[in-house]
Structure 1
Amino acid sequence: MNFSNKNRTEKINMMKIQTFDVLIVGGGITGAGIALDAAMRGMKTALIDMQDFAAGTSSRSTKLVHGGLRYLKQFEIKMVAEIGRERTIVYENGPHVTTPERMLLPLHEGGTFGKYTTSAALRVYDFLAGVKQFERRSMLSVSETIKKEPLIKKEGLKGSGYYVEYRTDDARLTIEVIKKAAEKGALCLNYVKADEFHYENGHITGIQAVDQTNGSCFTISAKKVINASGPWVDSVRKKDGGGNGKHLRLTKGVHIVIDESVFPLQQAVYFDTPDKRMVFAIPRDGKTYIGTTDTFYDRDLIRPNVTAEDRTYLLEAVRFMFPSVYVNESNIESSWAGVRPLIYEEGKGPSEISRKDEIWESETGLLTIAGGKLTGYRKMAEMIIDRVAKWFKEEQFILFSPSETKHLPISGGDVGGSAKFPAYVQEKMAVGMEKGFSKKEAEILVNQYGSNVDKLFAHKKENSPLPNVLYAQLMYAIEEEMTYTPADFFIRRISALLFDLKTVLDYKEVCIEIIADYFNWTQAEKEKHMAELEAEIAACS
């Protein structure tokens, strides 16, 4: 059965008749990792999300699998060490969705970082994170710094630190992990909401689910339910009667996108602002994106708002560190806001709250995982499924194997590892060109889809109503990636709404016609999903 909503009825029927070992509520990166870990151990696994996969925080991050350099300032040594190691694992298991990104950390008079403390911090960072020899930090002089990035503020410049982070497409990373979980037997469905819990002898035995596409209700039975719903963690816990006294404190992070013709950044930069916060400016596909803000947030979680104040803050940050770059509100092509589900700590500001993760268990057996970072998703999954496996051993005398995800390529990651990926790209580019794609088109597809690229090459169509790459991406997304709406496709499968708005505006009608035809939508359904996309366009632009 293809991983497609074309088979939605059959998938729901399968959910109705089975009793799962584990049911995960939440299809962001944490839930995806949990589903994969559980399925790999042989647990009968289901995952649901009331929206599309990765529609929450996992498509709204800074899009970095980073090692947490900033957490050294807060002396969170254990976190830096763990997520630093996990960063390498994420890269090795999915080099098609994770790319090394050299990062410049400029040092200025009066800034947050001094030259010697930065050198020491980066050295400790390399050690804790197990950074490879050729990726380890170096300290650059003033002239070397300016050569790396001529736009950097020169007044008071003392040099810079130069180190490696990893850039990712957060939503694509999430969908690739979910696809791998499905390949290993997990039953995963988007647009299914957990409405209420079912109990037997005071223990949760499943949920009442609602299919968000048509409003129908059905029961999903499970021996263990895991709440991995990110910003909605507390809402799900309330359905179970409350919590353990701990709760989330949500903060909002905003990013803006500017065309490279206005902001021609050639080097990713991590810099401190006048208010002593840290901000990234990163070049990507002909654009430069800047973020992030860090403010408390308690409003709309489905579509967090980007305020004029948010935009002004980031524009002022650009003007501060890149004084020769003239940017204003009209230069912002798109923007996005994400909500961080952090664990509440009394008296701490937005940037001070720890990004650590915790597991909470209710009296009814509901397991909740809260906090954490995208980089640490695999380790978080291992930790909570270790706990589930222990429960099965002690309560039901069932043994499950240890975690097997550390060296497991995610979907698209069967390319021989990161070192062999460049050669794999060259090999597959030749295949794509034989299929009729241009060299550039083939290169784009291989780099984005890795070992799944042959399925996209199969969608080469003469006289396509869409550009070759876009048509292949769309058909693959609806046949193999559970895409159901045009917003799913443009936002979370190809990120065009964020980094290529022109493509969305030029081809949205054609794409909607193709999707509508594939799913046999009525005119009313087509208009509904077009309105959803228009609302997303308005929100980001």
Structure 2
Amino acid sequence: MNATGSTAPSGRLGVDERAENWRRLGEEEFDVLVIGGGVVGAGTALDAATRGLRVALVEARDLASGTSSRSSKLFHGGLRYLEQLEFGLVREALRERELMLTRIAPHLVKPVSFLYPLTHRVWERPYTATGLFLYDRMGGAKSVPGQQHLTRAGALRMVPALRRDKLVGGIRYFDAQADDARHTLTVARTAAQYGAVIRTSTQVVDFLHESDRVSGVRVRDVETGEETDVQAGVVVNCAGVWTDQVLQMSGSRGRFRVRASKGVHIVVPREKIVSDSGVILRTPTSVLFIIPWKGHWIIGTTDTDWHLDLAHPAATAKDIAYILDQVNSVLNTPLTTDDIEGVYAGLRPLLAGESEETSKLSREHAVARTAPG
């Protein structure tokens, strides 16, 4: 019973709820059990709970402790995906961006401005403007301003930090940004408010089977070592880059493999880059963002394979040098390693086998039923 005298779920995930949820995991039978407390797992739990299903979610570490707290913190369609003709992916992402800005989480998701510096005369402005025209309209009704064309002087007034010889003009456009970890936590707490059992530091150590179907999992409390069985009609693997390991534990063979792609960002003080807008830059293999974030700039990202510990992706000196080289190629005052206040790295779970280059692998979601249950 909560403070108002109601027995309805409160959405709290405190110490008392943690103890109660452990009891419920061992005693109740669930319609859906979700493995993984990232944004995909939390979203799956919320979707199922709002449909009236009995839902539980278990996470080995903490909510958003992996990829979901180590992103570029953008809600965007992906301009480079548009250039790769991934129209369906971009359209879906932009529609979601619009929903986040207007209906789902306008308190968390806000518009953010980016300058696209033009470096070639004649052809680049109409080429980029066409892409941004599609980008502005593919998401339907929009809550951000459309593209704004700027001369070289106008672009430099907006971003004085840029070298004059590195652009002939610019186009300003808008996307959206949010605190990724806070967003994931909010989704999980909303699922809890709708009745889902959410428990962190709860690791799946084995799968339960009845005949040839999965009937649940065995979980361990990482803090105490205690174990219990959780019965569920359906088990959903939302483990991100750990998907293959969870599948192996279940004794199932997946229809695809997950390839971990490392993305590194550096964080520098706001005063190190004089600008009224974020910036998006082309690189030889992808794009690089200079993203305003409170009193800082987040600069990234990279896109390289990672074959070591999935729980602890790390930036190398080569990663940091790459980011500095790319951003310094356009800045009046180059950044140095001494300017870096923070570095973080995350892993994208991409579908393996489509390309040797991680930057060309699909960002689409994939759903597969690998075993009954």
Name which of 307, 326, 334 aligns with 2:342. Answer: 334
Is 1:188 matched up with 2:210?
Answer: no
Matched AA of 2:305: F
Taking the aligned partners of 1:139 and 1:129, their CA distance within structure 2 comes to 21
How do 1:7-406 residues align onto structure 2 when only pairs under 5 Å count?
7-92=17-102, 93-109=104-120, 114-132=124-142, 135-273=145-283, 275-322=284-331, 324-365=332-373
Q: CA deviation at 1:359?
A: 0.5
Q: CA deviation at 1:241?
A: 1.8
- Please list every run of 5 or more consecutive structure 2 residues that lacks an aligned counterpart in the other structure: 3-11
Residues 115 and 158 in structure 1, CA contact (< 8 A), matched pair in contact too: no
Is 1:5 matched up with 2:23?
Answer: no
Q: TM-score, normalised by structure 2?
A: 0.93
- Between 333-342 and 254-263, the greater mean CA deviation after superposition: 254-263
Taking the aligned partners of 1:121 and 1:332, their CA distance within structure 2 comes to 33
Aligned in 2, Cα 1:145/1:255: closer, same or farther, shift over 3 Å? same
Taking the aligned partners of 1:161 and 1:262, their CA distance within structure 2 comes to 23
SS in 2 for 1:359: coil
Cα offsets for 1:270-323 (capped at 9, x unmatched): 1113x242000012221111010110111111121111111111111121121x
Higher helix share: 1
Cα offsets for 1:432-481 (capped at 9, x unmatched): xxxxxxxxxxxxxxxxxxxxxxxxxxxxxxxxxxxxxxxxxxxxxxxxxx
Aligned residue in 2 for 1:522: none
Taking the aligned partners of 1:244 and 1:213, their CA distance within structure 2 comes to 31
Cα offsets for 1:38-82 (capped at 9, x unmatched): 110000000010000000100000000111221111101111111
SS in 2 for 1:265: coil
Matched AA of 2:48: A
Aligned residue in 1 for 2:9: none
SS in 2 for 1:279: strand
Cα offsets for 1:157-196 (capped at 9, x unmatched): 2212211110110000000011100001001011101111
Taking the aligned partners of 2:152 and 2:140, their CA distance within structure 1 comes to 28
How many positions carry a matched residue from both structures?
Answer: 362
Alignment RMSD: 1.7
Taking the aligned partners of 1:345 and 1:152, their CA distance within structure 2 comes to 39
Residues 318 and 325 in structure 1, CA contact (< 8 A), matched pair in contact too: no
Residues 230 and 341 in structure 1, CA contact (< 8 A), matched pair in contact too: yes
Taking the aligned partners of 1:91 and 1:210, their CA distance within structure 2 comes to 38
- Aligned-pair identity in percent equals 35
- Please list every run of 5 or more consecutive structure 1 residues that lacks an aligned counterpart in the other structure: 366-541
- Between 264-273 and 47-56, the greater mean CA deviation after superposition: 264-273
Cα offsets for 1:502-537 (capped at 9, x unmatched): xxxxxxxxxxxxxxxxxxxxxxxxxxxxxxxxxxxx
Residues 355 and 361 in structure 2, CA contact (< 8 A), matched pair in contact too: no
Q: CA deviation at 1:153?
A: 2.6
